[in-house]
Structure 1
Amino acid sequence: MYVYTMESVNLVCGDNDAGQNQPGTATFLTLRQLKLPNLEENYVEHVAGGAIAAIEVFTHINRLEATFTLAGWQPRVMGLLARGNASRQAQRYTAHGVIREQRTGKPMKATGILWGGSAP
């Protein structure tokens, strides 16, 4: 059995064109918490008329939601999340981190690319 833990992470906010013209804002000094989405399945129990047993039927996967917490105030990041943002285009958030396998101590690279913005 392997146990993996994420040791450190840097979240780059708003790097929509892979860092060529809009490099984004790195948050490695102010990032306090990053929660990546979980895949959670939902099921409904179904009992057919006259049946003696029920079955579970898969219905959907819950909404994927990632959240992060920053220390202090970063106007560039807040501008990406502002509800009054005229462009209303989805922003790209790239998380670069280090995952370590606990038994062997081997470090591995982790990268997560998320697209989104503020809720309407």
Structure 2
Amino acid sequence: MSNLYVWEAANLFCGDEDPTKSKHLTLQNLRLPTLEEIFQDHHAGGARVAIEVGLGIKKLEPTFKLVGWDPDLLSQFGLGAKGKKRFTAYQIIRDKRAGTAIEGKAVIEGRLGKIAPDEFKRGDLLANDYAINEVTHYELYFDRREKFYWDFFINSVRIDGVDQNSDENTILRVPASV
């Protein structure tokens, strides 16, 4: 049965250590990572038509924008904060058929790699664009169900809870740990 799910609201925690550090009052926009496969063209010597060959998934690059200055995030930026942080985004997704609110959730581990302030203009709210780089872990949930899970260090990819790398990890003797 067809349905429409609309993303209505969001909140972001930049570092899950402190549950009081909600960004719900300053969050202006949030872009979850694009899931995009890497393809390379292959035109075989004896073939008349070329094909594309899938080779993996492109790096993940989430971004967000906050109104005003955020001193906590200034401290998390760049060389002064070499460790990764966990960023957790919560979304209200509205089931338009039933009218109910559904929880969306994304968990991202990476480093705050960009802070780009807007140009100052008197009378306008200044905001800052942020980027999370060096992403090594990503989870995406819809209605509390895991839709996508990826961890660089244990070479794990799950889609709808199904391990997509189990045969490769077994053959390569990659130790799995969660």
State if a TM-score over 0.5 links the two structures.
yes
Question: How many angstroms apart in 1 are the aligned matches of 2:104 and 2:83?
Answer: 26
> What is the deviation of 1:54?
2.1
The runs of 5 or more residues in structure 2 that have no matched partner are 114-132, 134-178
Report sequence identity in percent.
38
Does 1:79 find its partner at 2:75?
yes
> What is the deviation of 1:55?
2.1
**Aligned residue identity for 2:79:** G
Q: CA RMSD in A?
A: 1.8
Runs of 4+ in 1 over 6 A off after TM superposition: none
Q: How many residues align?
A: 113
Once the two structures are superposed, residues 17-43 of structure 1 have per-residue CA deviations (whole angstroms, 9 ceiling, x without a partner) of xxxxx4362100000000001211122
The runs of 5 or more residues in structure 1 that have no matched partner are 17-21
> What is the deviation of 1:66?
0.8
Q: Bigger relative contact order, structure 1 or 2, given CA contacts below 8 A and separation 6+?
A: 1
Q: Structure 2 vs 1, CA of residues 13 and 52 (structure 1 numbering), >3 Å: closer, same or farther?
A: same
Report the secondary structure of 1:76's partner residue.
helix
Question: How many angstroms apart in 2 are the aligned matches of 1:52 and 1:25?
Answer: 58
Q: Write the mapping of 1:15-30 to structure 2, written as runs, cut at 5 A.
A: 15-16=16-17, 22-23=18-19, 25-30=21-26
Higher strand proportion, which one? 2
Once the two structures are superposed, residues 50-71 of structure 1 have per-residue CA deviations (whole angstroms, 9 ceiling, x without a partner) of 2222222112211111111000
Report the secondary structure of 1:26's partner residue.
coil
TM-score normalized by the length of structure 1 = 0.83
